[in-house]
Structure 1
């Protein structure tokens, strides 16, 4: 049964190619959506880029046929820009305020009524990323759906990077005696390269072993650290041990760490970065960056030079640096950083167009990046560099992202089978008992 999908503005701002995602069904873009896109196209951010991309796609399709008459798409459906159905009669009593969202709902109601009068079997469905628009549309008797085609996760489960396997004590003994064991001997499905395996004794669960799969996904080898602390930081749980293992492995060009607030993602990454940059001289520079996305109400423009403007946004990074350098005075930290010269704290705004060879790059709060932004960042990484993406997919401040379509989850899922990457999901908070309770309860 052929359907008619009416797209809200936020769908196109999230994914400009959403118009090609509905197979053989028809796609309708209301005229008011074009007006909203027009107000966004000058924004110098991801939203503005997507608005301009939609405009280019529609202009390209316009060469085939006038958009208001309908343009055939390669997947068998039709796309049209709806200029009519501007009547607000069907909504003015129930939703008297004429907003853009209500106009889109009114258009969908008008289309549905027209189809009913013509005795057609088509179904009209409003597609929106805005939950309130979907709720209002359903209350008006319309079908309303979220746009799910941009989801990275199909089963809602982000790859954790480790599994627990229960085995006989003999397997654990042989594992450490031979310093390896074939994955085929483990009672589990095939594993991704550099995935961790926690081996637990079936009869005595407290007896366990920890190993990591090799880059071919065939052999499990023990995780053994030759140092108790990394820049004064000692791993407090098994996931933190896993994180340090892949952070200190120069063979891995990409490391992704996810976890709730207080699990130690950023601190472990920076400690490993300082060790490899300052002590071991593996990398010539440590670059730490984070996206500028406010939590709550934006504080507006800030006075001063670039460094002064960035300081409030970068303060979480400086907090970790103060802890690692054992100082609580900002001026002391500034003197230390100026003296070292190899540590750079930057906003992601300035990373486009750069090439970053021979550096260890840490991207904090990566869950607030889109898939396109993650691609832009990863394509900046130069030869002999390593990049670490850190974030909590459940703690997103970006208006058009969620736990299922953000750039961090995208990178984790796309690279989980690649031999150049490693991932760990940290589970236990170590900041404080209160922080752990807040992360769990709130």
Structure 2
């Protein structure tokens, strides 16, 4: 290691590593394998980042896993001694090294406090910039505030975008509206088994995607249909009720169809507050309770102001109740929608016997998910790695449902395009066992709908 940044990227006889990326701690906690995502460019890790990672080594959350994995990877790469050349990241990749930094850089020492880790990371990046005149130096951080500070002092700063969705326009909606079809074609969906092959006589739909949904219209005539890749056909979708919950719009009807289909093992429901995504998922789970060993409802916990749950008063259950209450609220709605007292009693029985369990997402780790109907609420607050961890735990007979609103993100280092929910939707499109529905209309109340649209 070195005192400053003089040897971060020593001169080479040929120009093959055009950029130097200085990584912030939050990038590593987001993706421990990020150092292999910068192609042939070099990477610099400020010592302050290692100090911060040391605080995250112990724990069971995803960020603790990422910290431990990165530190083990870095240790294996560097060997016994880290030379001036740095450690190679592998064939076709650049080099990585750790920089100690020093006193705050002259550009910021009179305006920023050295006690703040972000300021020391910024200073290290500026030191690298001073020593390298012929190659771009870029600070990579998921912290918007740090990026703004870096730009203010003349340093290029960017978000980590390796797992970002390109744009909202390219985010799969799960449905299309087809207007102006022939009247006879719409009628065909209401005869026989409600199936129309996707041949030359079928709906004029270009490149349908597995489990994609369609609103097919001819003037006042219309039909809801879903495409199945297995038989290359469109199937009529009826507004089927689930445990007393009747769909109020086409999107909810599509959602319930996917939730009740045993062949679809992964479903994502995206929509604004009050669109009914969690409600229909829970209703479908209760409708199929006999087919599963357990119904699990989970939510990620993003504490207020990034403070740990330990700051809240009371025992563990008291700390968790505020986060789990929205799920209990949906159960209350289902109780009220069912006219018979027996339905409400059944829900309470399921809760008492743990057949229906509401739990924080962190408590799911280590559990065996066999024949589980698993609903993960507020999935927009999960990272791509957390999403992957959850899905890869699914055993035989398990169905996984993610619900979320990509416009209401509480996680400090995620946004609408970089969260795991958007990433999952983008990557799973076209898989036969996957279905996605975007719920657009709020059904909670007229007031809630107006507030969601205007405020």
TM-score (norm 2): 0.85
Aligned to 2:314, which of 303, 324, 331? 303
> Structure 1 333/307 Cα, relative in aligned 2: closer, same or farther at 3 Å?
farther
> Structure 1 123/309 Cα, relative in aligned 2: closer, same or farther at 3 Å?
closer
Confirm whether residue 28 of structure 1 aligns to residue 74 of structure 2: no
Instruction: Report what 2:323 is aligned to.
Output: 313
Q: Show the 5 A alignment for 1:275-294.
A: 275-277=287-289, 281-294=290-303
Task: Write the distance in 1 (CA, Å) between the matches of 2:89 and 2:320.
Answer: 45
Instruction: Report what 1:66 is aligned to.
Output: 82
TM-score (norm 1): 0.88
Q: CA deviation digits over 1:143-189, x for unaligned, max 9?
A: 111111121x1233321111112223333234444633343544443
What's the CA shift for 1:89? 2.4
Aligned to 1:211, which of 221, 225, 228? 225
Aligned to 1:171, which of 185, 209, 231? 185
The count of residues paired between Structure 1 and Structure 2 equals 427
Confirm whether residue 267 of structure 1 aligns to residue 279 of structure 2: yes
Q: What stretches of structure 1 of length at least 5 have no aligned partner?
A: none
Task: Write the distance in 2 (CA, Å) between the matches of 1:263 and 1:296.
Answer: 27
Kept in 1, the 8 Å contact 2:104–2:114? The answer is no
Tell me how large the CA RMSD over aligned residues is: 2.8
Q: CA deviation digits over 1:343-386, x for unaligned, max 9?
A: 22222222122223233222212222222222232233232232
Kept in 1, the 8 Å contact 2:273–2:442? The answer is yes
Instruction: Report what 1:325 is aligned to.
Output: 335
Confirm whether residue 243 of structure 1 aligns to residue 255 of structure 2: yes
Instruction: Report what 2:12 is aligned to.
Output: none
Kept in 1, the 8 Å contact 2:61–2:362? The answer is no
Confirm whether residue 378 of structure 1 aligns to residue 394 of structure 2: no
Confirm whether residue 430 of structure 1 aligns to residue 443 of structure 2: yes
Confirm whether residue 254 of structure 1 aligns to residue 266 of structure 2: yes
What's the CA shift for 1:65? 5.9
Q: Show the 5 A alignment for 1:78-117.
A: 78-84=95-101, 86-95=103-112, 99-116=116-133
Of 332-341 and 429-438, more deviation after overlay is shown by 332-341
Q: Show the 5 A alignment for 1:190-209.
A: 190-201=207-218, 204=219, 206-209=220-223
Of 156-165 and 78-87, more deviation after overlay is shown by 78-87
What's the CA shift for 1:240? 0.7
Instruction: Report what 1:133 is aligned to.
Output: 146
Q: CA deviation digits over 1:105-145, x for unaligned, max 9?
A: 222222222223xxxx2111111111121111112111111
> Structure 1 349/95 Cα, relative in aligned 2: closer, same or farther at 3 Å?
closer
Q: What stretches of structure 2 of length at least 5 have no aligned partner?
A: 1-14, 338-343
Task: Write the distance in 2 (CA, Å) between the matches of 1:334 and 1:313.
Answer: 20
What's the CA shift for 1:64? 8.2
